[in-house]
Amino acid sequence: MPVADDDYRIDGTPKGPGFLGALIRPDGRIATEASTWVKIDGKDVLIPLLVPTLSHKEIRSILNDEKKEAIVRKALRHAVTRINDGLSPFKEERGREPLDKEERKSEYEEGSESRRRSVIVQIKEAREV
């Protein structure tokens, strides 16, 4: 089974299998989630772009590192639906129970900005080395 280039999302949480499974990019790298930051209820939330509602053309765009507004809108609608259902916006490994309101609050609201900034600083530092 292919292994993703990085087993962790930009926010430091472990990646899951993705809604579409492991997809091969044109450069040979593996993509399972291709995530992006969006605002939900005024909070920064990391969501996957590779969601089941995309067309084949949109999936190819993501695999070619082309993030289009229509794709982000579809991914956002998908994420909001899942969050409202008590689920993570990401497809988790089998056996993961839905998040309750307190878990959602801690996972998506408390400290998300500081985690994001910390990861961004780590990435910038890694690139400078």
Tens-place pLDDT, residues 93-109: 754 444 454 554 454 45
Q: Is residue 62 part of a domain?
A: yes
Q: Is residue 7 part of a domain?
A: no
Q: Is residue 17 part of a domain?
A: no
Q: Residue 23 in contact with residue 124, Cβ under 8 Å? A: no
Domain range for 114 is 23-128
Q: Is residue 4 part of a domain?
A: no
Q: Is residue 2 part of a domain?
A: no
Q: Report the number of distinct structural domains present in the chain.
A: 1
Nearest alpha carbon to residue 62 among 50, 74, 44: 50
DSSP3 helix / strand / coil % (the chain, rounded to 5): 40, 15, 50
Q: pTM for this structure?
A: 0.66
Nearest alpha carbon to residue 16 among 87, 80, 101, 106: 87
Q: Is residue 3 part of a domain?
A: no
pLDDT, tens digit, 9 for 90 and up, residues 8-40: 888 888 888 899 999 999 999 899 989 999 998
Q: Is residue 34 part of a domain?
A: yes
